[in-house]
Amino acid sequence: MENMESFWEEVKCQIRTAMPDHSYRMWIDPVQLIEHKNECVYLSSPNAYFVKRLKDNYMPLIRDGFDRLGLNNLKIKFKIDSKNKSRKRTGIPSARKKTSSAAKYNDKRPRQRKLPGLNTAFNHGRMLKKGYTFDDFVVGDSSSFAYSASLSLAQGNRNGSNILYLLAKTGLGKSHLSQAAGHHILTNSLAKRVYYVTAEDFTNEMIYSLKNHKIHKFKEKYRTKCDVLILEDIHFLTGKEATQKELALTLDYLLDADKKIIFSGCELPDAIPKMNAQLRSRLSMGLITEIGAPDFQTRVRILKKKSSAYNFQVPPSVIEYIAQELSDDVRQLESGLTGVAAKGSLMGYDIDLPLAKSVICKMTTARKRATIETIQDLICREFSISKKDIVSSSRKKRIVKPRQVGMFLSRKYTDQPIKLIGKSYNKYHATAIYAINAIEKEIRQKGALFEQINYLSKKIESGKL
């Protein structure tokens, strides 16, 4: 057990060099070794949210750390231990016992241990993705202005405003550019405190702060301790009046202090329903840049860059075929490329045009056949409701949930605007946005609805409507 404790400390040292210090302190440093038995190590975690965060974002780093020490077959499991019992089990003395009462109040070291909504505190928001840099972004005619504007803001060039609004549909690169700006600022030491959060994160953090009487700390963090604010998915704030007011005040503080702000969203500020005038004016006062779907030549360059990054050996003719057939967004392109490469690898086939066609034709067929009407028909069959029910004003749960799922899938698999999707279900624009956001939020919990959406998505993607 003592050897394993030293191994875990070594793993933590390795991880510390591979991630930002504030993220290490918040997510890795609190984790302690509880026990080691039967080729399995048990690590402590204060709550279920913490466990999910570790598994989703840091498990590869933890696994790699043990692998480097020659512990390749070791199983890693987490146990919820909210009262730090792990310290007692491993013989590690409690920090509280070692600190005198006087020193306790003088010790200013960070003590992040908690998480959103579950007796938690917040730090610097989400981690920036490693590959989301300006060097990794493939610039095309539809994205060159947004790229230049993001880089200019990150470099601190004076172009009239410190606010940038990145407008794009899902999968076209707005998250990439916003995070690339954050990476550039941190890498070049242009600012120390870069906060990258989604609008949902901001809302949840504010609610937590209010419930736990810590709103003053929340305001201090964003108003006076933030150098760069990167806020994604601004359309999530639809109808959230209190959050909108707080964000508008926060922006005033940041602008007065000459700080940088980057927003991203799927809708223009004026098109976001139930947005108060104060916040709408703040969102509109900066530079608004739109990212469109990439053209053919840009799609080819994206696929070549992805192939090189993933070490796929894909012939030029196959790359051009994929680029020709898949034109919606970058995520669709990447899905097609990985699908072709995976089938070739798993089946032992050469990657050629016939192989590519066997994979891509299913994706394009699904796209051509999926319409709002066919998706509505699918929802009615699967949930045993009528077409009259799904477009009715009923608020019964057995009707509302399928209706929301239908709107979500219509947004995902058709090119129709949200306004038309809402109208097809006899609902307003704002109701459609609310429904889509509600389904996205529930999917992230990976419960029963997550499985239902996967099942329905497979039907749509296979053309079985």
> How many of the other CB atoms lie within 10 Å of CB of 192?
11
Which percentage of the chain shows pLDDT scores above 70?
86
Q: Are residues 82 and 166 in the same domain?
A: no
Is pLDDT above 50 for 434? yes
Per-residue model confidence (pLDDT) at position 3: 66
402 lies in which domain range? 370-461
Q: Are residues 337 and 431 in the same domain?
A: no
- How does residue 97 score in pLDDT terms, banded at 50, 70 and 90? very low
Q: Are residues 203 and 325 in the same domain?
A: no
Which domain CATH number covers 37? 3.30.300.180
Query: What gap in Å lies between CA 202 and CA 244, rounded to an integer?
Result: 10
Please, which residues have CB within 8 angstroms of residue 51's CB and are 6 or more apart in sequence? Answer: 45, 78, 80
- How does residue 184 score in pLDDT terms, banded at 50, 70 and 90? very high
Is pLDDT above 60 for 355? yes
- How does residue 27 score in pLDDT terms, banded at 50, 70 and 90? confident
Average confidence (pLDDT) over 422-437? 91
Q: What is the mean pLDDT of the chain?
A: 82
Q: Are residues 281 and 238 in the same domain?
A: yes
Evaluate whether residue 309 is within a structural domain: yes
- Most distant CA atoms of the chain, gap in Å: 74
Average confidence (pLDDT) over 279-288? 89
Query: What gap in Å lies between CA 182 and CA 166, rounded to an integer?
Result: 14
Q: Are residues 316 and 332 in the same domain?
A: yes
Sign of CA dihedral 138, 140, 145, 146: negative
Is pLDDT above 80 for 217? yes
Q: Are residues 283 and 154 in the same domain?
A: yes
Is pLDDT above 70 for 429? yes
Q: Are residues 231 and 280 in the same domain?
A: yes
Q: Are residues 264 and 377 in the same domain?
A: no
- The DSSP-derived string for 155-224 is HT--SS-SEEEEE--TTSSHHHHHHHHHHHHHHTTS-S-EEEEEHHHHHHHHHHHHHTT-HHHHHHHHHH
Per-residue model confidence (pLDDT) at position 5: 78
pTM, two decimals, is: 0.58
Which domain CATH number covers 190? 3.40.50.300
Is pLDDT above 80 for 257? yes
Question: In the chain, how many domains are there?
Answer: 4
Top-confidence residue, 21 or 418? 418
Q: Are residues 374 and 449 in the same domain?
A: yes
Evaluate whether residue 428 is within a structural domain: yes
Q: Are residues 181 and 234 in the same domain?
A: yes
How would you classify the pairing of strands 194-198 and 260-265? unpaired
Is pLDDT above 90 for 185? yes
Q: Are residues 166 and 40 in the same domain?
A: no
Average confidence (pLDDT) over 72-82? 81
Domain C-terminal end among 272, 290, 308: 290
**φ, ψ at 375 (rounded to 5°):** -70, -40
Which domain CATH number covers 428? 1.10.1750.10
Domain C-terminal end among 345, 368, 391: 368
Q: Are residues 207 and 258 in the same domain?
A: yes
